[in-house]
Amino acid sequence: MKQKEELTNRERFVEWLTTFMARHRRWLVLGAITAAVAIVAVVVIFEVRDRRLEESLTRVERAEDRYEEWGAAEGDDRESIEAEIMSTLDDVISDYSRLYSAQRALFVRGRMHLEEERWEEAADDFRTLSERFPNSHLALIALSNKAVAWEQSGNLERALETYIDLSEERDARNPLRARALFSAGRLKEQLGDEDAAREHYNTLVSEYAESEWTKPARNRILVLETGIGKN
């Protein structure tokens, strides 16, 4: 009896489903077509993105290869290679601004500006990289290079600001924090704020006992406290 009742319920469900599909056949077909179109669109988007990424990376890698040649070149050859590299990097940064290739292009262009002592241009490239791609493995290195560029330009206030920004990145992925703390202390000294300098040095000593920057930080603390060896 129970088996017969279950069969009857199954038959009723099949009958209801058949009726429902017959009544709503048009909408079901349209829904299936819409879903298929959406799937195709997603596939196309990913394929286009993959092609764009591959193309942009190829261009950056070519520029990086030429960068090595540029480093060894002289005179007119160096200028010619630099113009070629810069043109490629400019295009990648402009055309693929949110892709990984743009990170690498900004980093290479920033390094070239550093080597040619174009400090403000270098600082701007490294700033753009660190702000546009804050989670990139290049972001912290870019911040450090930005600080170096500002310091080399003589703008100690901006260099100090950047070192402090770098020192405030406290997570484990920041191997540059100890150096940033020392550099912030050093610049604070140069700017005449010895109390703030001592604070940066003390933070470094307390948090990074094994760092290569700890000993010079201790030496600076001693100089500030005793005045011995102070310039």
What are the tens digits of pLDDT across the range 121-146? 999 999 999 999 999 989 999 999 99
- CB within 8 Å of 180: residues ≥ 6 apart: 144, 147, 163, 164, 166, 167
Read off the pTM: 0.77
Average pLDDT of the chain, as a whole number: 85
Domain termination residue (choose one: 136, 171, 187): 136
Question: Which is nearest to 116 in space by CA: 85, 93, 142?
Answer: 85
Say if residues 165 and 199 touch (Cβ distance below 8 Å): no
Task: Examine residue 203 and state whether it is found in any structural domain, yes or no.
Answer: yes
At 15, the pLDDT band (50, 70, 90 cuts) reads low
Judgement on whether residues 46 and 130 belong to the same structural domain of the protein: yes
Q: What is the pLDDT of residue 53?
A: 80
Judgement on whether residues 114 and 162 belong to the same structural domain of the protein: no
Instruction: State the average pLDDT over residues 60-65.
Output: 93
Task: Examine residue 227 and state whether it is found in any structural domain, yes or no.
Answer: yes
Range of the structural domain that residue 121 is part of: 41-136
Say if residues 48 and 56 touch (Cβ distance below 8 Å): no
Judgement on whether residues 225 and 186 belong to the same structural domain of the protein: yes
* Residues 16, 19, 22, 25, Cα dihedral to 10°: -30
Task: Examine residue 5 and state whether it is found in any structural domain, yes or no.
Answer: no
Q: What three-state secondary structure class fits 205?
A: helix
Task: Examine residue 110 and state whether it is found in any structural domain, yes or no.
Answer: yes
How many domains are contained in the chain?
2
Judgement on whether residues 177 and 125 belong to the same structural domain of the protein: no
Task: Examine residue 8 and state whether it is found in any structural domain, yes or no.
Answer: no
Question: Which is nearest to 89 in space by CA: 128, 51, 120, 50?
Answer: 128
